[in-house]
Amino acid sequence: MRKIHALLTEYGESHQTTFNKRVHYICVPAIFFSLIGLLACIPMDAIMAGIIPDSVLDYAHFGTVVILLSLIYYFRLSIPLFIGMLFFSVLVLIVIKQIVMLNIAPLWVIMLCIFAIAWVAQFIGHNHEGKKPSFLKDVQFLMIGPAWTMSHLFNAVGIKF
């Protein structure tokens, strides 16, 4: 069995009930999104000015760095999942930029609210399931959660990973 399949299978062991799966289908992407949004509050544009094109300076923040590092991890596990996560990550960065442009509240406030609500919902899902979150066993499962969610999307549309 390939390493990605073993990791997804192990992660899935604590995500068996329909309720918990549905919670995770919503909350895992929300946590990823809000975490990148929180990290986007740490700018790097002053450091990167003159190094990268001005057209992408709005994306020069610590959130982008974390995305790039996580994409290396996903690439090593599965190229199709890497591609899926690449597209999702680009969408996340674009939506974060749009939220900043709306200027309805500080980005960190919006993202912290999403982050907290999503984690509370995840713990409710695990309480319903009666199993502890996988990351309590192995912190690597914090990275596997998004891949697990993406793998379910891929299975639904018939993409092999």
pLDDT in tens, 30-55: 999 999 999 999 999 888 888 888 88
State pTM to two decimals: 0.91
Q: Distance of CA 135 to CAs 34, 54, 131, 138, Å?
A: 18, 38, 12, 5
pLDDT score for 55:
83
* Burial class for 142, CB neighbours closer than 10 Å (0-12, 13-18, 19+): middle
SS3 content of the chain, % helix, strand, coil (to 5): 80, 0, 20
pLDDT tens-digit profile, the chain (161 residues) = 579 999 999 999 889 999 999 999 999 999 999 999 999 999 998 888 888 888 888 899 999 999 999 999 999 999 999 999 999 999 999 999 999 999 999 999 999 999 999 999 999 999 999 988 888 877 888 999 999 999 999 999 999 88
pLDDT score for 1:
54
